[in-house]
A and B are shown apart, each in its own frame.
Chain A
Amino acid sequence: MTDWRRQRTARDARIAAGRAHADGKVVAAADVVDLLEAVLRPGDRVCLEGDNQKQADCLARGLSACDPDKVHGLHMVQSGIVLPEHLDVFETGIAKRLDYSYSGPQGARIAKMLYGGQIELGAVHTYLELFARYFIDLTPNVALIAGVSADRAGNLYTGPNTEDTPTVVEATAFKNGVVIAQVNQIVETVPRVDIPGDRIDFVVEADTPFYVEPLFTRDPAAVTETQILMAMMAIKGIYAEYGIRRLNHGIGFGTAAIELLLPTYGERLGLKGRIATNWALNPHPTLIPAIEAGWVEQVHCFGSEVGMDRYIAARPDIFFTGADGSLRSNRAFCQTAGLYACDLFIGSTLQIDLMGHSSTVTTNRVAGFGGAPNMGSDPHGRRHPSDTWMKAGREAQQTGDPALMRGRKLVVQLVETFGDGLVPAFVEHLDALELARTIGLELAPVMVYADDVTHIVTEEGIANLLLCRNADEREQAIRGVAGYTEVGRGRDKAKVEHLRARGIVRRPEDLGIEPLDADRSLLAAKSIKDLVHTSGGLYEPPARFRNW
């Protein structure tokens, strides 16, 4: 007779083994290694919560300290490879296979380990894609997650950085998996229940509060005049023209400049209430001036940002907050919002090729892309119109029945033609292709594919790729904004001028932008200190940004 409960039986055995090291559900930090060795089985699929920001670092240290004779061959399925321990486990044989999304700070080491064969790589996913696979073919056997506090029944308060936790727990707890949470403290009653206790099997009181990376703080003092000029072009040439109200911004200085120009330059253009009102965005400190000036209607967040908690709690009309008053973020929902409910994604990249493919992967760094490939793509499942989406659709429509026209999401690459150390952003061939050949990746790590990109904005101008009618026009439009890079200087000047006459390439002067206005005095905040002041003292920047 078929046994339909093998997974459930195995789960019960794991939990029984773990209980030997617990008082009810509660486990002391000193007993983490024993707990993990009792619960884990060789070859398990394990999600060690490493999000974009929040890190289950106590459990990561515990896992890397396990005896490789007892715990080995794990298949790690987690969105972020951020801490050294996330890769240490591959050096000792505790883990073998990896499926992930983002590895910013560990990008160079991961490339080395892939090349050395220490990691069997599944794929580098977008967040939403990895979350989706948690429910289909990458369901974790064990999830190691992080929260702020829990009660003895396991009810979990994640704090403002809820991020991936509900998704990870959903996939694990309801499919016979074991969920172990680390928390900063065990309390009598949690401020709010983000995860109900019957989905949490063990709670570890961590030795130190979990680590959070301040990933979205951009110091206005470092914004350059070139970035201000580009932000002016984006606001006047794209946001105003398409009437973009629902949007997502990347994390670079260019988009920070746009945020800081809304209450000044945007105000001068009479755009308040007409653009940038509804956001899928982490709580960027540089959005504070626009919020305070009444530009922003609401913001849904992937995660929180260090120092923003008090400000957010004081602005519940703008942010999503719980009954306790603090932010409730959710990466899966916010990524879905960015995909289906936003009309524009704008972000930066390290390399763009002649067709408009872009990547942040270079030959010695496999950084992963996080959410950008998802938000920076045109969702073919979208079925609701908006003026912005339809206008972009009309520009892209070349042939066919107008009654069957669909809209287009605007996907804008905001790039300076030269990056740090005069490295050109425009290239003939992406380094990502070379890397894929070197380490034998079946799929080249492209962040945003050319057919999803609609505009490229550089300090030289805007290229509207929707209006290009063939590959040659597209290449010349890209060369036409590539400045003094080799790619830019290789342009056919006559063709670029022809594209300019058709409005496919537009210069600052074509948009009526005065170069003298590209001045730091246009920034609504010129320093972190200004942001603190504008927030009424509610924003509390981390120490490394307190430079006054």
Chain B
Amino acid sequence: METMTFRHTTKGPLAGTKPQAITGVVASGNLEVLLERVLPPDQCTIEIATPVVGYGDVWEAVAADFVARAQPGGLRIAINDGGARPDTVSLRLLQGARLMETGR
């Protein structure tokens, strides 16, 4: 098991008021993402727990691209990974951010 945390500054807060959302499942090749609106509006942290060791630089790139794309200010995001591919992680993060924005 490997854990890592990435902290980012955003241009502003993510739209919407939904306080919390969860998406995905911890299954092989999948992941669970918990999003909580608990940080200052220009901050975002992404905490990752993954059973697959040695892909820190890929996680860092996925997290940075997601923050640049979604500007998820105010969110603390926790990822429970089940060995998902980077594209699945990316899609799930975007889906999580949309859930927080739209309140769906």
Chain A interface (Cβ within 8 Å of chain B)?
224-226, 229, 416-418, 422, 458-460, 483-484, 489, 509, 514-516, 518
B86 within 8 A of A: yes
A484-B61, A484-B62 given as contacts; is B95 within 8 A of A516 (CB)?
yes
Which residues does chain A contribute within 8 Å of B87, judged by CB atoms?
Answer: 226, 416-418, 458-460, 483-484
B26-72 CB contacts (< 8 Å) to partner A: 58, 61-62, 69
Which residues does chain B contribute within 8 Å of A418, judged by CB atoms?
Answer: 85-87
Interface segment, B5-13, B74-82, B96-104?
B96-104
Q: How far apart sit A418 and B88, CA to CA, in the bound complex (Å)?
A: 10
Q: How far apart sit A507 and B58, CA to CA, in the bound complex (Å)?
A: 20
Q: Is the CB of A422 within 8 A of B91?
A: no
Query: Can you offer 11 A-B residue contacts whose CB atoms are under 8 A?
Result: A224-B88, A417-B86, A418-B87, A459-B90, A483-B87, A483-B90, A484-B58, A484-B61, A484-B86, A515-B91, A518-B95
Q: Is the CB of B88 within 8 A of A514?
A: no
Q: 13 extra interchain contacts, Cβ-Cβ under 8 A, other than A422-B85, A489-B61?
A: A225-B91, A226-B87, A226-B88, A416-B85, A458-B87, A460-B87, A460-B90, A483-B87, A484-B90, A515-B94, A516-B99, A518-B91, A518-B95
**A457 → chain B, closest Cβ, in Å?**
13
- CB closest chain-B residue, reference A416: B87
Q: How far apart sit A514 and B101, CA to CA, in the bound complex (Å)?
A: 12
**B69 → chain A, closest Cβ, in Å?**
8
**A492 → chain B, closest Cβ, in Å?**
15
Which residues does chain B contribute within 8 Å of A509, judged by CB atoms?
Answer: 69
Q: Is the CB of B88 within 8 A of A225?
A: yes
Which residues does chain B contribute within 8 Å of A225, judged by CB atoms?
Answer: 88, 91
Q: How far apart sit A24 and B98, CA to CA, in the bound complex (Å)?
A: 74
Which residues does chain B contribute within 8 Å of A489, judged by CB atoms?
Answer: 61
Q: Is the CB of B58 within 8 A of A226?
A: no
Q: Is the CB of A516 within 8 A of B104?
A: yes
- CB closest chain-B residue, reference A518: B91
Q: How far apart sit A484 and B65, CA to CA, in the bound complex (Å)?
A: 10
Which residues does chain A contribute within 8 Å of B69, judged by CB atoms?
Answer: 509
**B56 → chain A, closest Cβ, in Å?**
12
Q: Is the CB of B98 within 8 A of A514?
A: yes
Q: How far apart sit A436 and B103, CA to CA, in the bound complex (Å)?
A: 55
- CB closest chain-B residue, reference A516: B98
Q: How far apart sit A174 and B62, CA to CA, in the bound complex (Å)?
A: 62
Nearest first, the 8 closest Cβ-Cβ pairs linking A and B are A484-B86, A515-B94, A459-B87, A516-B98, A418-B85, A515-B95, A484-B58, A516-B95
Q: How far apart sit A426 and B97, CA to CA, in the bound complex (Å)?
A: 28
Q: Is the CB of A459 within 8 A of B61?
A: no
Which residues does chain A contribute within 8 Å of B104, judged by CB atoms?
Answer: 516
Q: Is the CB of A516 within 8 A of B102?
A: yes
Which residues does chain B contribute within 8 Å of A458, judged by CB atoms?
Answer: 87
Q: How far apart sit A516 and B94, CA to CA, in the bound complex (Å)?
A: 8
Q: How far apart sit A545 and B98, CA to CA, in the bound complex (Å)?
A: 35
- CB closest chain-A residue, reference B87: A459
Q: How far apart sit A481 and B102, CA to CA, in the bound complex (Å)?
A: 27
**A51 → chain B, closest Cβ, in Å?**
34
Q: How far apart sit A249 and B19, CA to CA, in the bound complex (Å)?
A: 44
**B65 → chain A, closest Cβ, in Å?**
9
**B101 → chain A, closest Cβ, in Å?**
10
Which residues does chain A contribute within 8 Å of B102, judged by CB atoms?
Answer: 516
Which residues does chain B contribute within 8 Å of A515, judged by CB atoms?
Answer: 91, 94-95, 98
Q: How far apart sit A509 and B65, CA to CA, in the bound complex (Å)?
A: 14
**A414 → chain B, closest Cβ, in Å?**
14
Which residues does chain B contribute within 8 Å of A483, judged by CB atoms?
Answer: 86-87, 90
Kindly name the residue among A225, A417, A514 whose own CB sees the greatest number of chain B CB atoms within 10 A. Answer: A225
**B70 → chain A, closest Cβ, in Å?**
10
- CB closest chain-B residue, reference A485: B86
Q: How far apart sit A509 and B90, CA to CA, in the bound complex (Å)?
A: 13
Q: How far apart sit A484 and B55, CA to CA, in the bound complex (Å)?
A: 11
Kindly name the residue among A416, A459, A509, A515 whose own CB sees the greatest number of chain B CB atoms within 10 A. Answer: A515
**A391 → chain B, closest Cβ, in Å?**
30
**A348 → chain B, closest Cβ, in Å?**
15
**B20 → chain A, closest Cβ, in Å?**
17
Which residues does chain B contribute within 8 Å of A459, judged by CB atoms?
Answer: 87, 90-91
Which residues does chain A contribute within 8 Å of B86, judged by CB atoms?
Answer: 417-418, 483-484
Which residues does chain A contribute within 8 Å of B62, judged by CB atoms?
Answer: 484
- CB closest chain-A residue, reference B59: A484
Q: How far apart sit A271 and B62, CA to CA, in the bound complex (Å)?
A: 34
Q: How far apart sit A155 and B46, CA to CA, in the bound complex (Å)?
A: 70
Which residues does chain A contribute within 8 Å of B98, judged by CB atoms?
Answer: 514-516
Q: How far apart sit A489 and B62, CA to CA, in the bound complex (Å)?
A: 10
**A518 → chain B, closest Cβ, in Å?**
6
**B79 → chain A, closest Cβ, in Å?**
15
**B97 → chain A, closest Cβ, in Å?**
9
- CB closest chain-B residue, reference A224: B88
Q: How far apart sit A205 and B58, CA to CA, in the bound complex (Å)?
A: 60
Q: How far apart sit A224 and B99, CA to CA, in the bound complex (Å)?
A: 19
A489-B61, A516-B99 given as contacts; is B91 within 8 A of A229 (CB)?
yes
